[in-house]
Amino acid sequence: MSRRQSSIPARYFDDLYAGECDPWEFVTSAYEQAKYDATLAALPRPRYRRGLEIGCSIGVLTVRLASRCASLVAVDVSEKALNAARVRCWTLPNVAFENMSVPAEWPAGTFDLIMLSEVVYYLDAGDVSRLADRVSASVEPGGNVVLVHWTGTTDYPLSGDDAAELFMTALGRSARRIRQQRTHAYRLDALALP
């Protein structure tokens, strides 16, 4: 399978959600639920002041992250996915949703938690570098960045391993990996910034 050469455009995700409301089975998959459990367990702090979830999709992880954040901004490139996320999270006043294409667009303010779950490998190397710049500029001192990526074969611009390593290299030496977990299907990297 050959890899795409450039970042995957918004229409790819619009087409996926037009054909299926939960194309990755976030709601029903035992794999996804176990991965979400591990993701939350990997968070270095019990609570965060303001979190950012990039690529929130239909909001399944968003609901769980919201219980750990006083305020959570959840973004996605697909308005259809965001509509489903808004419905799923309608009882959570601490969650705000924004439709944007990262890294070209970025939410205002700073964050002490930035969650990049299953998103970095959709970007090409140039956009990964721009994403790292955005994260560096908006993560608060002492904040955490969490990366989670499936490590199976895809046609995405980067593999899960390449995406995580390229992103961490672009962040530079100031980012310190404080936890890494690898299963047969995904890798999880929790970072602390000084």
Mean pLDDT of 48-54: 98
Q: What is the pLDDT of residue 28?
A: 87
Residue listed under structure tokens 């294409």: 101
Classify residue 4: in a domain, yes or no. no
User: Does some domain include residue 1?
Assistant: no
What is the per-residue pLDDT for 141?
93
pLDDT, mean over the chain: 95
Give the angle subtended at the CA of 48 by the CAs of 85 and 119, to the nearest 5°: 45
Alpha carbon distances (Å) from 163 to 82, 144, 168: 24, 18, 9
For the chain, the domain total comes to: 1
Domain residues for the domain of 68 are 10-192
Q: What is the pLDDT of residues 126-183, one digit of tens each?
A: 999 999 999 999 999 999 999 999 999 999 999 999 999 999 999 998 899 999 999 9
Q: Which pLDDT score, from 0 to 100, does residue 186 have?
A: 96
How far apart CA 141 and CA 52 sit, in angstroms, is: 15
Residue 2 lies in a domain: no
Q: What is the CATH number of the domain that holds 167?
A: 3.40.50.150
Sign of CA dihedral 7, 13, 14, 19: positive
Can you say how many angstroms the Cα of residue 51 is from the centroid of all Cα atoms in its chain? 11
* Whether the Cβ atoms of residue 123 and residue 92 lie closer than 8 Å to each other: no
% of the chain exceeding 70 in pLDDT: 99
**Higher local confidence (pLDDT), 3 or 130:** 130
Kindly state the average pLDDT of the residues 19-24: 83
Where is pLDDT greater, at 56 or 28?
56
The pLDDT assigned to 73 comes to 98
User: In the predicted model, is pLDDT for residue 1 greater than 80?
Assistant: no
More confident residue, 10 or 128: 128
